[in-house]
Structures are given as C-alpha cells and as structure tokens.
Chains A and B, each alone.
Chain A
Amino acid sequence: MRVSRRNFVKGAAVGAAGVAAAFPQMYIKDHGQAWGAKPWITKDGNVKVGLLWSLTGNLSVVENDSTQVSLFAIDKLNAEGGIAGKQIEPVVVDAKSDIKVYSEKMTQLILRDRVATVHGSYTSASRRAVMPIIMKWNHLYYYPTCYEGRECMQNIINTGPLANQHSYDLVPYMVKEFGPKVYLVGSNYIWPKESNKNVKVWLERAGGEVVGEDYVPLGGSEFSPVFNKIRQQKPDWIMSTVVGDSDIALHRQFLQEGFKSDKMPIAALTTGEIETAAMGHEAGAGHFLSAPYFQDLKNPTNEWFVDAYLSSKYGGGGVTHYNMEETYLGILIWKKGVERALEEAGGDWEAITPRMIRDVSGNWNGQGPVGLTDEESPEGKVWIDPDNFNIWLKPKIGQCGSNGQFTIVKEAPEHVGPDPFAIYPDRGVCKADGLHKPDGTIQKDVL
C-alpha cells in the first residue's frame, strides 16, 4: 500500500485515539485534570517545577546534594509566600546516572507532569542529552554547573561559570605568583579539553607556556606516569581539570611523590570542599581552586545560607560547595523570571509559557536582566546576561588550608561576563534570538 500523507495522518489520528482510549492515564492527570487545561498549575493552585538529578548511581555523589539544596530553596521561597501567592511544588525525579534516563525523565516532566520549568544536571553529557527535548517542546531548562560554552540555545539559562570566566583570573594569578611554566592534566572528556583551550589563550596573554599536557580516563587513578613527566618538565604549577574520584587520587599521589604544594601547586577548577575532605586535609592543603563560591566566604548572606542549609533537614551532607550554591541561585533567579512573566501576562497564570519566563529574564521593558543582590546571593551580586543567558559573576581564587576549607586569596575586582564563543570568534556572537554569524545570518539552537 502506498502511504499518502492523508492516509498517514488519518491512521496516526486513529492510532492515537486508540492509545488514548486504552491508556487514559497517559493524558489525564491522576488528580482529575483534563488534558491541556491549566498547564503547570495543580488543582491545589501550586506551580510545578521539575528537578532532574540523579539520586542513585555514581553521579548521585554530587547530584543528591543538588536536589537537597533545590528543595531547601523552594522551601525558603514557599515560606516567604511563594510566587505571587502560589506555592511552588517540586516534582523530583531520579535520572539514575544514566544518560538515556535523563532524556526519558525530561519527556515525562514536560508531557506528563507538565512542569513550568526544569532545573537539573551536573554534567555536559546529560545537558546535551536533554536539550533537544527541551527545544522540541520550546520548554525551559536551568543548568547550574560550570561548562565549556560553544552553545547558543534559546531554551536554557545557566547559573554556573563558563570556561571563559572560570580560568580568566586564575591563570594570570598563578603565572604571577609561581611562574610561567604550566603542565595541564585533565580527565579525558569534552569539558577539560575545551576548558584547556581557554586556559591556553589566557596563558598566552599572561606570558606563560604549556610544558606538557596529559589526559587520564574518567575514573582513572594512576598518575605516576604523569608525575614522572612533570618531574622531567619542571613546571612552575599544574593546571588540573581532573574531576571526581580521579581528582582525589591525583592530590594524594602528588603528596606521595614528594612534591610540595608551596613549590609547585595544583590550580584546579573543580576541587571543592567534598574532594578536599575525601583526599585528606594534608593532601589538599596549599592547592588552589577557582570558583565563584566557597563555603568559607565571609559575608552575611553566605553565613546565613551555610547555617540555614546545614541546620535544615536537607543539610545532611555537611558542606555547601560551589555547585550547590549555583543550583540555589538557579531557583532564586527562576522565581524572579516567573514574577516578571506573570506581569507580562497581565497576571494570568495560564498565559505564561516557559519560553516567556526566559525571554523576560533578559532585558525586559528596559528594566535590565534579572539578577540577585548581595542580600540574596551567597556569592554576591550576580545577573543574567541579556544576550546569551549565562551569568555575570566574580570569579574567586581560593587556597585550601589545612582544615579542608578555602581562604580567598583573590576576588576579581569587576564582574566577568560570560562569552560562550570566547575562543571561537569566527563562529559569531550569541544573542537572545540565536547565534549571529559573521555572514549576517542567525542560527538558532546551536548545540
């Protein structure tokens, strides 16, 4: 049989009706909502938000904390009266540290749970897996983790540092304090490699040079061949983009190889408070980390945040590290976006779309982009870039002390702007409506 377009449409419609009749629960919410009515508002009048993190599997080490701090932020907002009188209702799903499950759960959150927005992901791999689904439904995603950039999508807001912000301050600082020669060590996947491309650009400007570069497999824990070459090349400092459990082995073996952190320190982008606790304070002491947030930051907002979080029912993990804080910012910034969207929609909740929340988070009605003040954000004032919807922040450099906590040795004097195409100027400039290419065309949804 030849399948004509009309036949196909007819057949598909009959099929869909059949499926709908057979499985009505697929389309009609259990608490009696008809399909299509009142999106993202429950019968009780709460606004629904999706939290997509892994509660089991190897990513759960970090992502369980992300879920806890999101729930903490939502509790805080609800206690303060919610958003325009509506309480926020989190829909927590478990992505099981599996890329396929991230995609499935994302579809479920959008189509079945009908959440207004989804917050989630700790890795570039899972972000890149869910974004096609988000874009297909013109939905909205908040991604709180540092990432490599080189993306320009219209359905995402990022609250973590981009590669161009992350090492921007760190590299000149290390070159000035310790010397020009650097050895790059990283885990073998996309983020360390893209991140190191940025490092090389900053290094060239600061007058430094790369004396060696090595990548070990994710989860690898054998660094003696790398340290042998480091001993041969005699760098002044080591730039590490080694992540997770490998990072702990790197620092421990640094110590066992007889290196000293005051002679040749490791400057890292991800070695936070969780890692320094697991590697032992002796192995962590003296090394450097660049991040927008440290648990030990001295300001009233952060002191409140650390106390309130650790004493709440969510604070069992015992630390507040940079990724948790960025997740917390994401929820707060989302709330401000929803408030604006509500104003834009004339107070009609049903008229709000996820995309509208994003669009009004930029420069809306001449009010400038949404942001958080020093009183709201533990890391200090931040705001969303109205063009590429990443975050403006002040990178900070911390040095790990003998207690596993970081002391701030340098804070950027000015906020540093996000630039996803910092090292790819030929690709164009990311604006709110897409990537403006050098030839004048606009490319949407650059993933």
Chain B
Amino acid sequence: MSVHDFWTPFALEPFINALIIGLSLASIWLVAALGLTIIYGTMGVINMAHGEFIMLGAYITWILQYFLGFPWLLCLPISFVVVGFIGWLVERGLIRHLYERPLDTLLATWGVSLVFIQSIRLIFGGEPQYIDTPEWLKSVIEIGFVYIPSIRIFIFGLALGLVGLTWLLLYKSNFGVQVRAVMQNREMAASFGINSSKVYGLTFAYGAGLAGISGAMFSGLKTIFPDMGLGYVVEAFLVVVTGGGELFGSLATAGIMGEMFSIFSYFTNDTFARFVLFVLIVIFLRFRPQGIFTPSMARR
C-alpha cells in the first residue's frame, strides 16, 4: 500500500464539501445526544436505554406510516409525544426508585433497553424496515461545487430548532427554573413548594421525547431495525461526557467532533478517522474529565 492509497491529497472543493458534511454529522450527533444531555447531564441518570428511545421513535414513525399512512413530517411530533410518554412511564415505574443510587440506573436502564429491543423484535420481526420521506427531501441542493442533500439541511435546521427550544425551556421558563432548582438541591427546592417528583418525571419524559423525535428524523436517512440504537448511543455518550453534560457543551462538542471526523475521514479513511477521534477524546478526558464546559454551579 503506497502512501497515496491512504492519504487523499488536499483539494479545495471537496474539502469545503467535507466541512459541510462535518456540520451535518455534528447535527446528527447533537440531535442524538440532546435527550441524553437532559437525562444524564441534568438528572445524573446513566440512561443506557437512550438508543432504544431513538429506535422506538423510528419504529413509531414506521408504524404510523406503514399502517396508518401518515406523512413523514407529521410523524415527527407524534414520535416526540409517544416516546416522551413511554419515557415518563419508565421514570414513574423504575427510575424514580433509583435516584439515590445513580450507578444502579445504568443496570436498570440497560435492562429496559433489552426489553425494548426484544419486544420490537417479537412484534415486528428483526428485518430492517422502510420509511418513505417526502420527495423534496430526496434531492440534493447544488450551489456551484457544493452538494448538500436536502434531508441533511432539514436535520440541521431541526437540530438548531430543538436546541433553541430546549434552551428556552431550561433557562427562560418557569419550568426550567424549577428543573434547575430541583437538580441543584432536591430537599431545598421541595421546601420552596416545588413538586420535585413531578419535575423529575417531566424532565425524563422530555429527554426521552427528544430521543424519539431524533429517531423519527434518522428514519429518513438511515436503517430502521431493532438494534439500531446501539449505533447512536456511543456517539451520544461521547458528546455528552466531553461536553460536560451542559446544553452548550454538547453543542460545541458535537460541532468539533463532527468537523474533526469529517476532515480526518477526508484525508485518510472512515476507519482511521474514527480511531483518531476516539483516541483524542480519551486524551482530552484524561486531562479534563469534567468536560469542555464545567458546570458553574454545585451539583447534587
């Protein structure tokens, strides 16, 4: 193997395309990590079932489209609501008994994830499923030498929208003030008359709902099958941990990771880019285990 087989020489036009692909990858990882940022970053629950919430979102989209003929765009908000509700049930039935033992949430949610995977497999079988997207999302937008598939622009826009919405909810609404108060000190918040149990439930439901809508979005781009969640949860955890569990930490990390992956993979190849990225993250976390942005306030 010569050097040239391994190393793609620099050329401006494809490099600019690679930068744009980096943004698209970042938006996909960000959307996948957003729900986890809420659940792990804010609540401290190690939610191993996050990938399966994404999978459920995709399957709900498929069910709505295949059996009821719903258009794809309408499936997105419905997935958010349905998966959010499932998340709320999981929180009420299981997670709320484990807030004092965060490590046990890892095992419990892993169990939940296995239950979800096997249930879907039992009901719909293990084969991959097909979801149709609107025609205008199947084309590519061409500006000079820049090519961007329209579905990637759509996911990018929706990712920014969801970040904005989450930011408004957490930092500009009454509910957000309550959430942050409960997360800082549950007893103190309760003594001020905040129903902390309800706040936990709704926060978890919101995080699960975000996973659901991301699954619905990915269904247009990727493959839908019972084990698909595994493919997202690794990147999601990396984004959240490296970002310090903060909303803007996740935003920044996803952006940096996406661009780095795309640039490495342009110059070398997909496998090597993944290797370099993971090594860099390990080194980074060795020297800054608290992540890019340290939460300024005391945590529980």
**Chain B hits for A278, CB < 8 A:** 127-130, 223-224
Which stretch of A138-146, A226-234, A383-391 is in the interface? A226-234
User: 1/0 contact trace for A198-239 toward B, CB 8 Å?
Assistant: 000000000000000111110111101110110110000000
- Whether a CB of chain A sits under 8 angstroms from the CB of B18 is yes
- Whether a CB of chain B sits under 8 angstroms from the CB of A46 is no
Give the complex CA separation of A217 and B234 in angstroms. 13
Which stretch of A24-32, A248-256, A292-300 is in the interface? A248-256
- Whether a CB of chain A sits under 8 angstroms from the CB of B184 is no
From A219, A225, A317, B266 is in contact (CB under 8 Å) with A225
- Whether a CB of chain B sits under 8 angstroms from the CB of A133 is no
Does A220 contact B269, Cβ atoms closer than 8 Å?
A: no
From A61, A220, A229, B231 is in contact (CB under 8 Å) with A220
Does A228 contact B222, Cβ atoms closer than 8 Å?
A: no
Does A58 contact B227, Cβ atoms closer than 8 Å?
A: yes
Does B265 contact A225, Cβ atoms closer than 8 Å?
A: yes
From A217, A229, A280, B271 is in contact (CB under 8 Å) with A217
**Chain A hits for B130, CB < 8 A:** 277-280
Does B21 contact A248, Cβ atoms closer than 8 Å?
A: no
Measured CB to CB, the nearest residue on chain B to A212 is B8
**Chain B hits for A188, CB < 8 A:** 271
Which stretch of B37-45, B139-147, B242-250 is in the interface? B139-147
Does A224 contact B270, Cβ atoms closer than 8 Å?
A: no
* A216-B270, A258-B139 as given contacts; A225 in contact with B21, CB under 8 Å: yes
Give the complex CA separation of A72 and B53 in angstroms. 38
Task: Report whether over half of chain A's contact residues are helix, strand or loop; otherwise say mixed.
Answer: helix
Does B266 contact A228, Cβ atoms closer than 8 Å?
A: yes
Does B231 contact A219, Cβ atoms closer than 8 Å?
A: yes
Give the A-binding residues of B (Cβ under 8 A): 5, 8, 11, 13-14, 17-18, 21, 24-25, 28, 121, 125-130, 132, 137-140, 142, 147, 149-152, 221-228, 230-231, 261-262, 265-266, 269-271, 273-274
From A213, A225, A245, A279, B225 is in contact (CB under 8 Å) with A245
**Chain A hits for B266, CB < 8 A:** 225, 228-229
* A225-B266, A252-B221, A257-B149 as given contacts; A245 in contact with B18, CB under 8 Å: no
**Chain A hits for B270, CB < 8 A:** 214-217, 220, 225-226
Interface size class of A (residues with CB under 8 A): 35 or more
- What's the least CB distance linking B53 to chain A, in Å? 18
A sample of 13 cross-chain residue pairs with beta-carbon separation below 8 angstroms, ordered by A number, consists of A58-B126, A58-B225, A64-B126, A219-B227, A220-B231, A222-B222, A224-B25, A225-B262, A225-B266, A248-B128, A278-B128, A280-B130, A280-B132
Give the B-binding residues of A (Cβ under 8 A): 56, 58, 60-61, 64, 188, 213-217, 219-222, 224-226, 228-229, 231-232, 245-246, 248-249, 252-253, 255-258, 274-275, 277-280, 282, 317
Give the complex CA separation of A221 and B269 in angstroms. 15
Does B8 contact A229, Cβ atoms closer than 8 Å?
A: yes
List the 8 shortest-distance A-B pairs measured between CB atoms, nearest first: A258-B140, A278-B128, A256-B149, A245-B223, A225-B265, A221-B222, A232-B14, A248-B223
Does B127 contact A257, Cβ atoms closer than 8 Å?
A: no
Does A60 contact B126, Cβ atoms closer than 8 Å?
A: yes
Does A258 contact B149, Cβ atoms closer than 8 Å?
A: yes
From B11, B152, B230, A224 is in contact (CB under 8 Å) with B152
Measured CB to CB, the nearest residue on chain B to A225 is B265
Give the complex CA separation of A249 and B218 in angstroms. 10
Measured CB to CB, the nearest residue on chain B to A277 is B130
Give the complex CA separation of A257 and B20 in angstroms. 13
Measured CB to CB, the nearest residue on chain A to B227 is A58
* A219-B231, A249-B223 as given contacts; A231 in contact with B140, CB under 8 Å: no
Measured CB to CB, the nearest residue on chain B to A318 is B127
Does A228 contact B149, Cβ atoms closer than 8 Å?
A: no
**Chain B hits for A58, CB < 8 A:** 126, 225-227
Measured CB to CB, the nearest residue on chain B to A213 is B5
Does B14 contact A231, Cβ atoms closer than 8 Å?
A: yes
Does A228 contact B127, Cβ atoms closer than 8 Å?
A: no
**Chain A hits for B28, CB < 8 A:** 222
**Chain A hits for B149, CB < 8 A:** 224, 253, 256-258
**Chain B hits for A255, CB < 8 A:** 138
From A217, A225, A246, A253, B221 is in contact (CB under 8 Å) with A253
**Chain A hits for B18, CB < 8 A:** 225, 228
**Chain A hits for B129, CB < 8 A:** 278
- What's the least CB distance linking B59 to chain A, in Å? 13
Measured CB to CB, the nearest residue on chain A to B13 is A232
**Chain A hits for B137, CB < 8 A:** 256
- What's the least CB distance linking B117 to chain A, in Å? 10
Give the complex CA separation of A76 and B223 in angstroms. 36
Measured CB to CB, the nearest residue on chain B to A55 is B126
Does B228 contact A245, Cβ atoms closer than 8 Å?
A: yes
Does B140 contact A257, Cβ atoms closer than 8 Å?
A: yes
Give the complex CA separation of A188 and B272 in angstroms. 11
Give the complex CA separation of A217 and B277 in angstroms. 14
- What's the least CB distance linking A265 to chain B, in Å? 17
Give the complex CA separation of A220 and B121 in angstroms. 20
- What's the least CB distance linking A270 to chain B, in Å? 13
Q: List 10 additional A-B contacts (Cβ < 8 Å) besides A248-B223, A258-B147.
A: A214-B269, A221-B223, A222-B222, A224-B149, A225-B262, A245-B225, A249-B222, A256-B149, A258-B139, A274-B127
Interface core residue of B11, B126, B149 (most chain A CB under 10 Å): B126
**Chain B hits for A219, CB < 8 A:** 227, 230-231
Measured CB to CB, the nearest residue on chain A to B231 is A219
Does B231 contact A221, Cβ atoms closer than 8 Å?
A: yes
Measured CB to CB, the nearest residue on chain B to A210 is B5
Give the complex CA separation of A412 and B151 in angstroms. 41
Interface core residue of A219, A225, A258 (most chain B CB under 10 Å): A225
- What's the least CB distance linking A347 to chain B, in Å? 44
Give the complex CA separation of A248 and B13 in angstroms. 28
Give the complex CA separation of A226 and B222 in angstroms. 15
Give the complex CA separation of A256 and B224 in angstroms. 17
- What's the least CB distance linking A380 to chain B, in Å? 28
**Chain A hits for B261, CB < 8 A:** 225
**Chain A hits for B224, CB < 8 A:** 278
Give the complex CA separation of A224 and B262 in angstroms. 9
**Chain A hits for B8, CB < 8 A:** 229, 232
Does A228 contact B126, Cβ atoms closer than 8 Å?
A: no
Measured CB to CB, the nearest residue on chain B to A64 is B126
Give the complex CA separation of A226 and B25 in angstroms. 13
Give the complex CA separation of A274 and B221 in angstroms. 18
